[in-house]
Structure 1
Amino acid sequence: MVEPWPAGKKLAGRFSRAGEGTWGGMGVVYRATDDSHAGRAVAVKFLWPRDSEAALRGYRAPTSRELRRFDRECEMHRRFGGQGVPAFVHADLSPPRPYLVTEYVDGEDLHAFLTRNRPTLSAAACVVVPLLEVLGRVHGAGVVHRDVKPANVLLARRDGVVYLTDFGIALPQDPTATRYTNGRTPGTIGYMAPEIHRGERNPGPEADLYGVACIAFQMVTGRLVFEAGHSDYDLARLHCEERPPLLSDDIPTLPSGIVDITDRMLAKSPTDRPPLELALEIWRPLLPSPGDPAPRPGFDPDPTLPHRAAHTTAAPPAAASPASVRRPRVHRRPVGGPTRSALRNLCAEAEIEVERGEPGAAVDELTAMLVRAEQCLPGAVREVQGARLIVARAQLLRGETAAAGRTYRDVARRLADAQAGTETGELRVRAQLGAVQVMAAEGSPVQAVADDWRELTEGLTFWPGPGPSHQIMELCREVGVEVEELALDARPGEVSPGLPETIHKLLARLNSQLDEPRRN
C-alpha cells in the first residue's frame, strides 16, 4: 500500500530516495540519502495517516490535530536526538505531505530481534539499561513517551547501540500541554501500564517504567507478562487486576534483586513503582565489561557490543565460553558497598539536618547511598527502611511532596507484615503516618485523610506490651492536629457529621497517653 517514491525525486532539494518504505505508526518511513552530506543515509517519515475508508488508496489528508501531533514528534527529535534517540536532521510540515528526517539506524527493532533470539540475562541488561538511561533523560525534561514497546526499540547492526523511537504520542507532563490524541491514550495493550488501561489521560513517567518492565520480562523469560491469547479486553483486565508472575517463577536461579525490581516496576499503582534511578542501579551490574567474550551463540545485532568493546577489541564469537553465558560473572552480589556502620553514621547526620529543617549535603549523600545499601545490605531491613523515612521527611521539607509520598508508601508496603510492638512495626506506622501527611499536603479528600489517620490511631491502642513508643505517639498527635484543622475548615457535606469531635476525642486520648511515664 506504499506509493512509490518517484526515481530521482528530492525533498527540499537535498534528500533522494534510496530504499523501500515501511509503515510506522501514523506514517511511512523511507531510507533516503542526504545529498548535501556526502550521501549519508537518513530516515524520512511522512505523515501518512490511513483509515478503513482510505484502505484502497492507503492515504488520506491529515487532520489539523494530526499535524500538530506530528509537529510535536519533530520537536521531540530536536530536543532529544542523539544519545539513544535518532538525531534530528530536517522537517517540513507544509502540505500536501509533511515529513520528518532523522538519522538512519541500520538494524532491526527489538520485536524482530526477539523472534530469533533468546538473550542471556547480561544481554537483556544491555537493552534495559540504555533504555532506562534514555527515558531518564526524557523524563528529566518533563516528557513521558507513553508507548515503550519492543517495536519502538531499535538495535543498530554496526555497533549494537540501543535507540528509542516513535515519539508520536509522547506528551509533556506540563498540565497545560495540549493533547493531540483523541479519547483514551493510545499505545500497545501488552505493554501499557494499568493506569493507561483505566483511562488516565496524563500518565506519569512511571507508565514508561512499566513498559520497560514488560520488555525486561519478555527478554528474560521468552514470554509476555500476560499472554496475548486473550481478547484485548481480557488482556487489559489482566494488566489492571491480576498479579504479574515473578521472573523467578520461570527461572528460579535469577538474582533476587532483579526479580524484586522487575516485580516492583510491574506494580499496579504508579506510586508503588520504584524510582527509575534505583532500577538502573540494580540492572547495571549485569552489564558485561570491556574485553568480555561475545555471547555464544552470537547476536546480530549484538546489544552487548558497546559494553564489551568500550575500550578493547571484542573477542570473536568462537572464543566465547558457554559457562560465562550460563553463569555471568556479574551475577555476584556487589562488593565494596556501604556498611551498616556507615549507614547509621550518615543517618545520624541527615537526621540532624532534618530536625533543623535544613536538609542538605548529608541528606543528599544518604539518598545516593541508599541505592547501594538496598543491594549490599539485604539483612539490614530496619536500618535501610529507617533511612528511607529520613529521606522522605527531607523530601517533604523541600516541597517534593510526590517523591515523599512514593517513599512513604513504598516503605509501608515493604513492611506490611511487620509485627505490632516491634521496631519494624513502628517504622511501618511512621511510614503510614507520613503518607497521611502527604495526602493532606496534596489536597486529598479530607474524609479520606481523616479515616486513614483515625484507623492508625485506633490501631495503636491495641499494641502489645507497653504499647507504642513516645516518639510514635508524638508523631501521631502531630499529624492529628493537621487533620483536625482540615476537618474544621471543611465545607458542609465534605466530611461526615461529628468528624471534628471524633478527632478531638482521639487527640485528647493521645495527650493523656503522652502524659504517662515515657517508653523510649
Structure 2
Amino acid sequence: MKTGDLLNERYELLESLGKGGMAEVWKAHDRQTGNTVAVKGLRPEDFLRAFEGNSEVYAQQYKLMRERFGREASVLRALAHPNIVTYLDTGMFGDEPYIVMEYIEGLSLREFLERHVLAVSAVAAIITQIAWALGRMSLIEPPIVHRDLKPDNIRINTRGAAQLIDFGIALPVSPETARYTEQGTTLGSRGYLSPEQHDGLDLTPKSDIYALGCISYLLLTGEPPFPIEQASQLKRRHCEEIPPPPSTAAQYNVPEAIDDLVMRMLAKEPAERPTASEVIEVVAPLLPQPGNPAPNPSLKPDPTAMFRATPDAPSDAGAPPPPRAARGSRWLNRRQVTDQLALAKAERDRGQPGPGGQALINDLLPRARAEWGPLDRLVRDMELAAEDYRRAFGDGTHG
C-alpha cells in the first residue's frame, strides 16, 4: 500500500499513521461517506523476510499471519463498544486483506501524559473508561484478552473518551481458539505484561487487569511499577517483586481505596486481582460529578468531560439526547436506578438471585439505554452488572 492507493474504489489512502511488525495503519478518505477512516493492511514482505530461505516455513508463517489478521477483524466486530475502536469494513487490496476502522482524532495516552499532570478525578475517569472496555471484553462469549494493553494502545479522542486500539494479538479465551504462537511464547509489551504472560502461561481477562494496574500506577505516579528501561530485569520483577504502593511515589495524596485497588490489580496470582466491575465500583466515588468545574489546569482532550456533564447540558463526549418519553410514561430516576443496581449487585455477591436483578435486566436497563443513551456512565455500569448477573444466575428472571 502507498499514498494515493484506492481500495475497493472507496478508501483513498492519505498518509501512513504507523507501522508494526506485521501491519501498517493508514489514514484514509472514505469516498462513499465522506468520513476519515483508518485502514490497517498487512506487511507480509517485512515479517516473512526471515523465512525466505525455507519455502515450507514461509508458507506456514504467511498462512498464520493471514489467519491472525482475520481474527482481529472478527474480534472488533464482536466487541462493538464506545471505549473500543469501531470496526467498519474489511476487504482485499490485491492479494492482501485490510481492515477499516474509525479514525480516532486525538492523542495516545502516552502523548496525553507527556502534556498533562493528572488530578485523582481525571485518573479515575481514565481508569473507569478502560475498565468499561475490559468489562465488555471479559463478559462476551468467549471472553477476549487484549494481550498488549499499554499507553500507546489507548487513545484519548477529542471528546475525552478513552478508546482501546490495536487488537492484532487479542485472543478469545476458548479451548477451540487456534493459537498462532507456540505455548510459552511471550507476546506484548514487557513493561505492562502480567506474570503469566511473561511465563507464557494460559491467559484470562485478569491478565489485562494486571496491565490496567500498571497503567493506573503510571497515571498516579508518572512511572510504571517497574522501570521499562531496565529491560533485562522486567520479567523477574513482574513475576517476583511487589512494587511500593503508588501513594509512596505520587506527588499528591492518593486515596487509600485506589492505592489498595492498584496493588490488588498488580497481584501475582490472577485469582487475587479484581474484575473490571470491581475496579469500576472502587473508583466510582472518586469520579467527577455532574456540574463539577473543569480541571484547572485544563486538560485537552478532557477525559472528565462526560462525567461532569449535566442532563440539560451534555458534554461533547456524552450520549445523544434521549428520545421524548411516550405520553403517560415517567422518566427514570437516577437515584432509584442506582439503588436498584446496588440491590442487584448485593444479590450477586450473596449468590441468591432476586427482584433487584430481575428489575435491572428486564426493565431498567432497556429503559435506561433508551432514555440516557449507551455512553451514559450509569448505563455502562448497569450493562456490566447485568452481564455479571446473567453469568451467575442465567437471565435473571428466576428467584
> Into which bin does the TM-score normalised by the smaller protein fall?
0.7 to 0.9
CA offsets, 1:185-207, max 9 Å, x none?
Answer: 3011110001111111x300110
| C-alpha deviation, 1:24, in angstroms | 4.0
| C-alpha deviation, 1:284, in angstroms | 1.8
2:190 match: 189
Q: Which amino acid aligns with 1:288?
A: P
1:135 match: 134
Distance 1:168 1:14 in 2: 24
Q: Is the 8 A contact 1:34 1:41 kept in 2?
A: yes
Residue in structure 2 matching 1:45, options 37, 40, 44: 40
Distance 2:100 2:356 in 1: 45
| Bigger Rg, which one | 1
2:119 match: 120
Distance 2:185 2:308 in 1: 42
Q: Is the 8 A contact 1:15 1:35 kept in 2?
A: yes
Distance 1:220 1:399 in 2: 37
Secondary structure of the structure 2 residue equivalent to 1:101: strand
Answering whether residue 21 of structure 2 is matched by residue 20 of structure 1, we say: no
2:354 match: 361
Q: 1:198 to 1:218 in 2, by over 3 A?
A: same
Answering whether residue 72 of structure 2 is matched by residue 77 of structure 1, we say: no
Q: Is the 8 A contact 2:8 2:93 kept in 1?
A: no
Q: Which amino acid aligns with 1:208?
A: D
| C-alpha deviation, 1:222, in angstroms | 0.7
Q: Which amino acid aligns with 1:219?
A: L
Q: 1:362 to 1:262 in 2, by over 3 A?
A: farther
1:86 match: 85
CA offsets, 1:232-266, max 9 Å, x none?
Answer: 3x111000000121012124732111111111110
Answering whether residue 146 of structure 2 is matched by residue 145 of structure 1, we say: yes
Distance 2:62 2:171 in 1: 19
- Describe how 1:429-508 pairs up with structure 2 within 5 A: none
CA offsets, 1:48-67, max 9 Å, x none?
Answer: 1434958xxxxx99711010
| C-alpha deviation, 1:20, in angstroms | 3.5
Q: Which amino acid aligns with 2:215?
A: I
Distance 2:78 2:279 in 1: 24
Q: 1:139 to 1:308 in 2, by over 3 A?
A: same
Q: Is the 8 A contact 2:16 2:24 kept in 1?
A: no
Percent identical residues: 35
Q: Is the 8 A contact 1:291 1:313 kept in 2?
A: no
Alignment TM-score, normalising by the size of structure 1 = 0.57
Q: Is the 8 A contact 2:154 2:163 kept in 1?
A: yes
Structure 1 unaligned segments of length 5 or more: list them.
55-59, 315-336, 366-394, 401-520
Q: 1:89 to 1:270 in 2, by over 3 A?
A: same
Secondary structure of the structure 2 residue equivalent to 1:44: strand
Structure 2 unaligned segments of length 5 or more: list them.
51-57, 316-337, 359-388, 395-399
| C-alpha deviation, 1:68, in angstroms | 0.4
Q: 1:139 to 1:93 in 2, by over 3 A?
A: farther
Answering whether residue 9 of structure 2 is matched by residue 10 of structure 1, we say: no
Q: Which runs of 4+ in 1 moved over 6 A?
A: 362-365
Distance 1:277 1:257 in 2: 15
Secondary structure of the structure 2 residue equivalent to 1:63: helix
Secondary structure of the structure 2 residue equivalent to 1:217: helix
Alignment TM-score, normalising by the size of structure 2 = 0.73
- Describe how 1:187-266 pairs up with structure 2 within 5 A: 187-200=188-201, 202-232=202-232, 234-251=233-250, 253-266=253-266
Q: Which amino acid aligns with 1:174?
A: S
2:372 match: none
Q: Which amino acid aligns with 1:70?
A: F
| C-alpha deviation, 1:18, in angstroms | 2.7
Distance 1:199 1:74 in 2: 24
Q: 1:264 to 1:245 in 2, by over 3 A?
A: same
Compute the RMSD of aligned alpha carbons. Answer: 3.1
Distance 1:228 1:87 in 2: 30
2:361 match: none
Q: Is the 8 A contact 1:67 1:93 kept in 2?
A: no
Q: 1:112 to 1:217 in 2, by over 3 A?
A: same
CA offsets, 1:68-93, max 9 Å, x none?
Answer: 00000011121123411222111125
Q: 1:167 to 1:313 in 2, by over 3 A?
A: closer
Secondary structure of the structure 1 residue equivalent to 2:237: helix
Range moving further from structure 2, 85-94 or 122-131:
85-94
Highest RCO, 1 vs 2 (Cα 8 Å, sep ≥ 6): 2
Q: Is the 8 A contact 1:169 1:181 kept in 2?
A: no
Distance 1:310 1:73 in 2: 37
Secondary structure of the structure 2 residue equivalent to 1:180: coil
2:333 match: none
